[in-house]
Each structure stands twice: as C-alpha cells, then as structure tokens.
A and B are shown apart, each in its own frame.
Chain A
Amino acid sequence: KQEVTQIPAALSVPEGENLVLNCSFTDSAIYNLQWFRQDPGKGLTSLLLIQSSQREQTSGRLNASLDKSSGRSTLYIAASQPGDSATYLCAVRRNAGNMLTFGGGTRLMVKP
C-alpha cells in the first residue's frame, strides 16, 4: 500500500526566504505526482504536476522535483511571501487510473 509522508508538518519562515517542502512515498512505481495548495477553509488548488518520466516542473517561483528511485519529491519556493502561507499537499497517482494517495500536508506560514 502506498504511503505518502510530508515533513515537516508545519513550517514558519520570515518573508523572503527560499524554502523546500519535502514529500516521500513508499512505492516508487508511480504514474505522476501532483502538488496542491490549500488555504484555510478552502478547496485544493493544483500547483504542479510531474509525470513519472520527468525530473522537475516549474511555475513562477515554484519548482517541483521528482526522484522516483528514492521515493522523494521536493517543492522549492523562491523568495517566499506572506501570500504563500497555506497548507501544501503532495499526492501520487499509482497508475493512469484514478487513485491519488495524499500526504498529510505541510502548513506553511510566511511572516512579514
């Protein structure tokens, strides 16, 4: 059974710092990995999707990397801003079908 872990569970940083959020998964046979953002009381917003054949994806100040063999993905946020404060979740898909397995999330607070 796939298990996805995100460490740390919570993170507080001053504005302007570059930071890395970690996601690890136990079964390396994945189809793709998706990073989401969730604001308090809101739904999930998709940030980046990395296919199993890819090493990284970038969108603005966000960069997600994938190392399938070691079962790890990182989300790099450059020059963090208070508006980046949210919970970040990673999820892996085991095949082209439907099952997404989520990590517990990292709650990020960026202080002005």
Chain B
Amino acid sequence: DAGITQSPRHKVTETGTPVTLRCHQTENHRYMYWYRQDPGHGLRLIHYSYGVKDTDKGEVSDGYSVSRSKTEDFLLTLESATSSQTSVYFCAIRESVSGANVLTFGAGSRLTVL
C-alpha cells in the first residue's frame, strides 16, 4: 500500500455520533485524498489536501470535514454520522511513477452507521 495506513479498518457507530478516520503515510507525499466507495456510484472524491493545512472539497463533501496538521496524517471527520454515510472510505496519495502522477490507495475503512 505504498506506506499508507488507514485506521480504523472497520467501525460500527450510531447515527448522530462523531467519527474520525485517519490516513497515515510514511513517504512525505504532498497530495492526499479521501474517497468513498458505494455500490452503483463507484469511487467519489470527498476532500483532498495539497499540503499541510491546505485542503479543498471534492464532489461529495457535504457532512464531512478534513484536517491536515502534518504531512503524514490526513483526517476525515464526520461531525454527526448519518446512515447515508455508511460506506467504504479510501485514502489515497499521489505519487510520480515514470514521470506520471498516479494515485495509490490504502486498504480502506469500512464504516457502518446504524
């Protein structure tokens, strides 16, 4: 997984509770991303970061916030989880491979909101 660790890998929580997912990378990549994967929708970008304290919204950012206080960690927070946020969440980093920018993904975090 190119030095990408997601935690927790599995979480079950109740509607209305806050949840934070962590993505940790060890290779000092500048760009980091959070995607969610749902049947029938593929992967959709939630938020991304292009440096410490620099973040921007993706296509499905409502209900989510992110923080990047240091290069190696990118946190995704659901302030008040809803059942529609039940999904598998993937973190990715952007790296250069043979001169091209490619995304490399973590193993995913499965979140169930009851």
Contact = CB atoms under 8 A, between A and B. Distances in A.
B81 to A, nearest CB: 22
Interface residues of B, number: 27
A66 B39 CA distance: 26
Given A99-B58, A102-B44, A44 B102 contact: no
Contacts of A51: 100
A9 to B, nearest CB: 9
Contacts of A41: 108
B101 to A, nearest CB: 7
Interface residues of A, number: 23
Given A43-B105, A44-B105, A49-B100, A98 B33 contact: yes
A13 interface: no
Query: Do most interface residues of chain B lie in helix, strand or loop, or is the interface mixed?
Result: strand
Given A49-B97, A96-B101, A98-B50, A43 B106 contact: yes
Interface in A55-110: 89, 91, 93, 96, 98-100, 102-105
A98 B56 CA distance: 10
A34 B102 contact: yes
Contact of B45 (A32, A45, A46, A100): A100
A34 B92 CA distance: 14
